Amino acid sequence: MQIASKDVSAVDMVRAALDKAKKYADYNIFISLSEDAALNRAKEIDEKIAKGEKVGRLAGVPYACKDNFLSKQGATTAASKILEPLKAPLNATAIEKLEAEGAIMIGRVNLDAFAHGSSTENSYFGVTKNSTDMERVAGGSSGGSAVAVALDIVPFATGTDTGGSIRQPASFNGVYGIKPTYGTISRYGVVAMASSLDCVGFLARNTEDLNLLMEICAGQDPKDLTTLPDYYTKTEKKEPKKIGVIKDFDSDAIDPAIREVLRQKLSELKSDGYDIVDLEMPILKYALAVYYIICPAEVASNLSRYDGIRYGYRSEDAKNLDEIFGESRSDGYMKENKRRIMVGNFVLSSGFYDAYYLKAMKARTLIIQAFDDAFKKCDYILAPVSPNPAFRIGEKVNDPVAMYMEDILSVTLNLAGVPGVALPVGKTDSGLPLGLQLIGPRRSDKNLLDFAGKIGFKIDDKEGK
């Protein structure tokens, strides 16, 4: 990821990325491009290199920013109408760290508004199309990030993962994506969805790049009290011996092609000398219900700050204070945002808190314990990311339950706070990418990435490894 060798200039790299972004405009990847700012920054880096000055590890590397990261460059929208005019007064900590190492943001990419969705169809700016089949979804919520990387517009993109929002679009587009251990990377300056579930991560075409990004961004941040001390760069190398497979995930509800690539990969691992351990984790069948109680509850709390008063969109039709609140939120939120706010306020309301929210929190504890017990029997777990390959645009967006079911295999990691890496492992007969997720115990992120790189496809190798 370096240009210090002077073999290529930062300006050339950034210009090439911008040209590709325009070339693939029909995919609706970018909400906005920052041409002038990106090229000016690239010129500054080239000048530093020419003078022999020290540059960062990402000097001149263009990247795409998921548009729920605050940055002084451009406007932050979170792909919503209610935030469309927002000019951020600060940079997210992750953005600060990337750009301190010389990375150059070329633009902001699309997502489901406020990261609420699994297909990037819930964006105010329209749907992003899958990198392989433009009639299919990119996945969500980090759909724009995944397609920008898959089409090789940029080497990496930022993402957030609250219930699979990095891993699922990575899987749908055949790239790598990491959801770190909760608290590994600061969430400061990232538009909050569900604060106890949100994780900042990245998508890239190989695990080496993801490892470098993690080394740069991991660590404690006084602005985010949930961040962990830097364990990532101090991780001792450990080779796994036992790979777990969750028997509860091997059901007819999972697409046969995904079940087959999982069996093939497990067979390869067994042939390579790894022990395959069957795991029974029956509590996971409740994970989706637990997630869609806890997540909307936190969403309702976090979205209450957007009221048309302090910043963001304000309805021009409002004539009094009540109408400013009501009409601004009614016009500014997408249908899925409103659905989650309503569910969240319901489960937190008097008379239902104990029956729903408190019970879900107790079940979450059991899910955490189930993963702790599983990792006493194995080093890592290999599982599907999603029950299906990328589905067709419009197929599920009007059926909330069907859309939520797409998260059934991915939300468990966020509830437990454990890391997961999505890795490309195959394709369907029609050429759609197929991915799996490698899951590890908390703080195993670095070794997890190393192993994912060994067993996943090389992106530019159609036959894989």
How far apart CA 287 and CA 259 sit, in angstroms, is 20
Known catalytic membership, residue 81: no
Q: Which of 71, 141, 328, 410 is catalytic?
A: 141
The strand pair at 380-384 and 433-439 is best described as: antiparallel
Residues 37/129, Cβ–Cβ less than 8 Å = no
How far apart CA 31 and CA 74 sit, in angstroms, is 10
How far apart CA 168 and CA 139 sit, in angstroms, is 6
Maximum alpha-carbon separation in the chain: 71
Q: Which of 66, 179, 396, 446 is catalytic?
A: 66
What's the token pair of residue 134? 């433009």
Residue 2 neighbours by CB under 8 Å, 6+ apart: 57, 58, 59, 60, 61
How far apart CA 18 and CA 337 sit, in angstroms, is 31
Residue 233 neighbours by CB under 8 Å, 6+ apart: 215, 218
Q: Which of 80, 118, 123, 165 is catalytic?
A: 165
Known catalytic membership, residue 141: yes
By annotation, the residues acting in catalysis are: 66, 141, 165
